[in-house]
Amino acid sequence: MTITHLVTHSGGFHADELLSSVILTRLYPDATLLRSRDADWITSGAGRIIYDVGREYDADALIFDHHQRPNPLREDGQPFSSFGLIWQHYGRDYLRSFDVPEADVEDIHRSFDQGFVLPVDLIDNGALEPSVAGPLAGVT
Protein backbone atom coordinates (compact mmCIF):
# COMPACT_ATOMS: atom_id res chain seq x y z
CA MET A 1 0.00 0.00 0.00
CA THR A 2 1.21 3.49 -0.82
CA ILE A 3 1.14 5.89 2.12
CA THR A 4 -0.21 9.25 0.96
CA HIS A 5 -1.06 10.94 4.28
CA LEU A 6 0.47 11.10 7.74
CA VAL A 7 -2.29 12.31 10.03
CA THR A 8 -1.93 13.69 13.54
CA HIS A 9 -3.95 16.13 15.61
CA SER A 10 -4.12 19.86 15.07
CA GLY A 11 -3.55 22.45 17.78
CA GLY A 12 -0.71 22.38 20.28
CA PHE A 13 1.93 19.75 19.81
CA HIS A 14 4.06 17.57 22.03
CA ALA A 15 7.25 15.61 21.57
CA ASP A 16 5.47 12.32 20.88
CA GLU A 17 3.75 13.37 17.65
CA LEU A 18 6.67 15.59 16.63
CA LEU A 19 9.16 12.73 16.93
CA SER A 20 6.71 10.33 15.28
CA SER A 21 6.51 12.80 12.38
CA VAL A 22 10.31 12.77 12.07
CA ILE A 23 10.32 8.99 11.65
CA LEU A 24 7.35 8.82 9.31
CA THR A 25 8.38 11.69 7.02
CA ARG A 26 11.77 10.03 6.59
CA LEU A 27 10.11 6.76 5.58
CA TYR A 28 7.32 8.34 3.51
CA PRO A 29 8.81 11.57 2.10
CA ASP A 30 6.10 11.95 -0.54
CA ALA A 31 3.23 11.69 1.96
CA THR A 32 1.35 14.80 3.02
CA LEU A 33 1.60 15.61 6.73
CA LEU A 34 -1.88 16.61 7.86
CA ARG A 35 -2.77 18.01 11.28
CA SER A 36 -6.51 17.67 11.84
CA ARG A 37 -9.20 16.64 14.27
CA ASP A 38 -11.74 16.14 11.49
CA ALA A 39 -13.39 12.74 11.99
CA ASP A 40 -13.10 12.02 8.27
CA TRP A 41 -9.32 12.18 8.54
CA ILE A 42 -8.71 10.57 11.92
CA THR A 43 -10.41 7.30 11.05
CA SER A 44 -8.77 4.49 9.13
CA GLY A 45 -8.51 5.06 5.41
CA ALA A 46 -6.48 3.87 2.47
CA GLY A 47 -3.00 5.32 2.37
CA ARG A 48 -3.10 6.88 5.86
CA ILE A 49 -1.03 6.46 8.97
CA ILE A 50 -2.83 8.08 11.91
CA TYR A 51 -0.96 8.84 15.14
CA ASP A 52 -1.56 10.55 18.47
CA VAL A 53 -5.21 11.00 17.56
CA GLY A 54 -8.14 8.68 16.94
CA ARG A 55 -8.45 7.06 20.38
CA GLU A 56 -7.44 3.68 19.02
CA TYR A 57 -4.35 1.56 18.63
CA ASP A 58 -4.71 -0.79 15.69
CA ALA A 59 -1.48 -1.45 13.84
CA ASP A 60 -3.31 -3.31 11.07
CA ALA A 61 -5.46 -0.23 10.43
CA LEU A 62 -2.37 2.03 10.80
CA ILE A 63 -3.78 3.90 13.80
CA PHE A 64 -1.27 4.59 16.58
CA ASP A 65 -2.92 6.48 19.42
CA HIS A 66 -2.45 6.04 23.16
CA HIS A 67 -5.19 8.25 24.63
CA GLN A 68 -7.88 5.54 24.93
CA ARG A 69 -8.58 3.41 27.98
CA PRO A 70 -7.16 0.94 28.41
CA ASN A 71 -4.08 2.49 26.86
CA PRO A 72 -1.42 0.39 25.12
CA LEU A 73 1.34 -0.82 27.44
CA ARG A 74 4.83 -2.14 26.92
CA GLU A 75 5.61 -5.71 27.96
CA ASP A 76 6.79 -4.42 31.34
CA GLY A 77 3.52 -2.52 31.92
CA GLN A 78 4.84 0.98 31.20
CA PRO A 79 2.68 3.15 28.94
CA PHE A 80 3.38 3.93 25.31
CA SER A 81 2.96 7.34 23.75
CA SER A 82 2.40 7.61 20.01
CA PHE A 83 6.18 7.93 19.61
CA GLY A 84 6.78 4.60 21.32
CA LEU A 85 4.14 2.92 19.18
CA ILE A 86 5.57 4.37 15.97
CA TRP A 87 9.10 3.44 17.08
CA GLN A 88 8.04 -0.15 17.78
CA HIS A 89 6.48 -0.51 14.33
CA TYR A 90 8.71 1.70 12.16
CA GLY A 91 11.93 2.28 14.09
CA ARG A 92 13.87 -0.56 12.52
CA ASP A 93 13.00 0.66 9.02
CA TYR A 94 13.97 4.18 10.09
CA LEU A 95 17.41 2.91 11.13
CA ARG A 96 17.76 0.98 7.88
CA SER A 97 16.96 4.18 5.95
CA PHE A 98 20.30 5.50 7.27
CA ASP A 99 22.08 2.33 6.09
CA VAL A 100 22.63 1.02 9.60
CA PRO A 101 24.12 -2.45 9.14
CA GLU A 102 21.45 -5.10 9.57
CA ALA A 103 23.55 -6.83 12.23
CA ASP A 104 23.29 -3.67 14.37
CA VAL A 105 19.66 -2.69 13.82
CA GLU A 106 18.15 -4.64 16.70
CA ASP A 107 20.71 -3.53 19.29
CA ILE A 108 20.47 0.13 18.26
CA HIS A 109 16.68 -0.06 18.18
CA ARG A 110 16.55 -1.49 21.69
CA SER A 111 19.13 0.94 23.08
CA PHE A 112 17.44 4.01 21.58
CA ASP A 113 14.09 2.76 22.82
CA GLN A 114 15.30 2.48 26.40
CA GLY A 115 17.43 5.62 26.47
CA PHE A 116 15.26 8.05 24.49
CA VAL A 117 11.86 6.72 23.41
CA LEU A 118 10.79 5.30 26.79
CA PRO A 119 11.45 8.54 28.71
CA VAL A 120 9.45 10.49 26.10
CA ASP A 121 6.62 7.95 26.48
CA LEU A 122 6.68 8.23 30.25
CA ILE A 123 6.77 12.03 30.33
CA ASP A 124 3.93 12.26 27.81
CA ASN A 125 1.82 9.96 29.98
CA GLY A 126 2.66 11.77 33.23
CA ALA A 127 4.57 8.74 34.54
CA LEU A 128 7.91 10.60 34.72
CA GLU A 129 8.50 14.15 35.86
CA PRO A 130 10.31 16.24 33.25
CA SER A 131 12.65 17.49 35.98
CA VAL A 132 14.23 14.02 36.25
CA ALA A 133 14.40 13.47 32.50
CA GLY A 134 17.66 15.36 32.08
CA PRO A 135 18.26 16.66 28.55
CA LEU A 136 14.95 15.20 27.36
CA ALA A 137 13.01 17.62 29.55
CA GLY A 138 13.39 20.36 26.94
CA VAL A 139 12.07 18.15 24.16
CA THR A 140 8.82 17.15 25.79
Pairing of strands 48-51, 32-35: unpaired
pTM above 0.75, yes or no: yes
Q: How many structural domains comprise the chain? A: 1
Domain span at 26 = 5-130
Tens of pLDDT along the chain (140 residues) come to: 799 999 999 988 888 999 999 999 999 999 999 999 999 998 888 999 999 998 999 999 999 998 888 889 999 999 999 999 999 999 999 999 999 999 999 999 999 999 999 999 999 888 787 776 666 666 65
- Residue 18 CA to residue 24 CA, distance in Å, equals 10
Judge whether 140 lies within some domain.
Answer: no
Judge whether 117 lies within some domain.
Answer: yes
